[in-house]
């Protein structure tokens, strides 16, 4: 199956700093990538849809100025958590659709565990 790589796997940062998370599709071109956040014992919550070459579409309640998304190429999307605070500590996961697969199957990155201290 298609491979999506996410980096870093985990990161610890100080409150007030910014953290960038990368999501790459390794063997296909992804015009659309998705960013999720998952708190402990909860399901995935879609944060935003990242579209190559255009602005991301954010879900209601997600601050676009805090969670900056850039999808500059067909294989790379980045999520930057700006001015991170302890409440931003969570598991962040990206996914992408492979146009060669079924219409909607999503392939996930490994996830990034963010801890803000």
Partner 1 sequence: GQNIDQPTEMTATEGAIVQINCTYQTSGFNGLFWYQQHAGEAPTFLSYNVLDGLEEKGRFSSFLSRSKGYSYLLLKELQMKDSASYLCAVSDSNYQLIWGAGTKLIIKP
Query: Contact between 91 and partner 1 (CB under 8 A)?
Result: yes
The reply on whether position 74 binds partner 1 by CB under 8 A is: no
Among 30, 56, 93, 116, binds partner 1 (CB under 8 A): 93
Query: CB-wise, 45 or 62, nearer to partner 1?
Result: 45
Q: CB of 115: closest distance to partner 1 in angstroms?
A: 13
62 forms part of the interface with partner 1 (CB under 8 A): no
- Tokens of residue 39, six digits: 């708190």
Contact characters 28-57, partner 1, x per CB under 8 A: ------x-------xxxxx--x--------
What lies within 8 Å, CB to CB, of 20 at 6+ separation is 78, 79, 80, 81
Whole-number Å distance between alpha carbons of 74 and 14? 31
Interface with partner 1, residue 13, by CB under 8 A? no
Number of Cβ atoms within 10 Å of the Cβ of 92? 23
SS3 for 89-113, per residue? CEEEEEEEECCCCCCCCEEECCCEE
Chain-centre distance for alpha carbon 62: 13
| Residues at the contact surface with partner 1, assessed by CB under 8 A | 1, 6, 34, 42-46, 49, 91, 93, 102-111, 113
């Amino acid at each position: 199956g298609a491979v999506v790589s996410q980096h870093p796997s985990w990161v610890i940062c100080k409150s007030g700093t910014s953290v960038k998370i990368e999501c790459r599709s390794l063997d296909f071109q992804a015009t659309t990538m998705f960013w999720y956040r998952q708190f402990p014992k909860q399901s995935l919550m879609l944060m935003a849809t990242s579209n190559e070459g255009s602005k991301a579409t954010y879900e209601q309640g997600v601050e676009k100025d805090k969670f900056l998304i850039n999808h500059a190429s067909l294989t790379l999307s980045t999520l930057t958590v700006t001015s991170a605070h302890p409440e931003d500590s969570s598991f962040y996961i990206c996914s992408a659709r492979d146009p060669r697969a079924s219409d909607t199957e999503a392939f996930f990155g490994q996830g990034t565990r963010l801890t803000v201290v």
